[in-house]
Homo-oligomer: A and B are copies of this chain.
């Protein structure tokens, strides 16, 4: 296994993570793959906790994703078990059995139904997860459960992430105050694995599962689904939100519109946004965080596609790594998106300086402020398509030698 990497130069510190009423967390060292660190994390949720989840669109998902998808319609959660070091992906029938046995064991320990236990795993693909090792660790984890376990969990779910990722917000629902805590891992990898993104959020708010699901879906679309490191989509990507209902606030109806939960939605979006950007900040080999804004598209959907095409272009990402404000490559990426675009209406700005307007270099264009912007840790690209009012923003990181080092070294 590879040596730990130094923290990303874009790393942010883990904020103080408060306890969430109704959530207990424990992380233990089970030795599934890593031998010297905590690698299994267990969450226990109070009875009545509702759950929402958004999962990878990859059509070859891991067994834990299948499990969660099947359990989610129940809308109730009592536990979450996360393992690091083995993804339980492409493991056939054995993988399904591991999921069933883990959920059953956990349900037995907590006195709940297996379908109230959610599962997530990341790490090596195609190797059977040592089920007995995992099961043996669960009773000890349950004994260790404490309300103050977010920090440990943020670290224990990491694979080769270079820093632990967490975010916290408070929100009001009517005259009541609630808290949302979230952790994420992403962009580290263990050969022969891929970067996988996991994120788990909990709140003490009391929100019916369908409302929670709508809020989470909307928030993920604006955050995690707007972040790309290398265009590759993991088989295990999972974002889950649990609401314990322990806070006091006016009742939220099962058919409540997201608009009636404006402040909660704002806080949730902020947590998701912060966590998603942390994943980009920990992108393999990342030296720069890149924001891509697209305006003037025929629709928001079209703008998003163009922005993702720019953010996924290896030529754009290597240019930024080289601190080269190469707008020719940006134009190329716009054109290859296949979305409505007119070369002669296109404008490109870097760091707020317009380099090209309506298909031509800006007359008398002075490179100086752009060159200075490119040397920074955060680079902003704006493309105006000049066609309509559709706009979108996505985030990525540059493509550097570090990416090749991390992903191109033979597994040992």
Contact = CB atoms under 8 A, between A and B. Distances in A.
A131 interface: no
A60 B332 contact: yes
A411 interface: yes
Given A58-B336, A408-B322, A329 B192 contact: yes
A409 B125 CA distance: 35
B191 A324 contact: yes
B404 A401 contact: yes
B335 A59 contact: yes
Interface in A295-347: 312-315, 318-319, 321-324, 326-329, 331-341, 343-344, 346
B92 A359 contact: yes
A90 B232 contact: no
A408 B328 contact: no
Contact of A328 (B124, B318, B407): B124
A80 to B, nearest CB: 23
A336 B233 contact: yes
B324 A59 contact: no
Contacts of A409: 322, 324
A312 to B, nearest CB: 8
A211 to B, nearest CB: 29
A328 B401 contact: no
Interface string A394-412: 0000011101100111110
A269 interface: no
Contacts of A327: 125-126, 192
The copy count of this chain in the complex is: 2
A260 interface: no
A126 B235 contact: no
Contacts of A231: 231, 312-314
A77 to B, nearest CB: 25
A234 interface: yes
A151 interface: no
Given A232-B313, A314-B232, A346 B60 contact: yes
Given A341-B60, A343-B60, A360 B230 contact: no
A204 to B, nearest CB: 36
A328 B58 contact: no
A332 B192 contact: no
Contacts of A92: 344, 358-360
A361 B400 CA distance: 33
A361 B60 contact: no
Nearest to A90: B331
A296 to B, nearest CB: 14
19 contacts: A59-B337, A59-B341, A89-B331, A90-B356, A191-B324, A191-B326, A192-B319, A192-B328, A232-B332, A314-B399, A314-B403, A314-B407, A318-B403, A318-B404, A324-B409, A400-B404, A400-B408, A401-B401, A401-B404
Given A60-B341, A192-B326, A314-B314, 19 more contacts: A57-B338, A58-B335, A58-B336, A60-B335, A89-B328, A90-B331, A90-B356, A90-B359, A92-B360, A231-B313, A233-B332, A235-B332, A314-B399, A314-B407, A318-B404, A322-B409, A326-B411, A400-B408, A404-B404
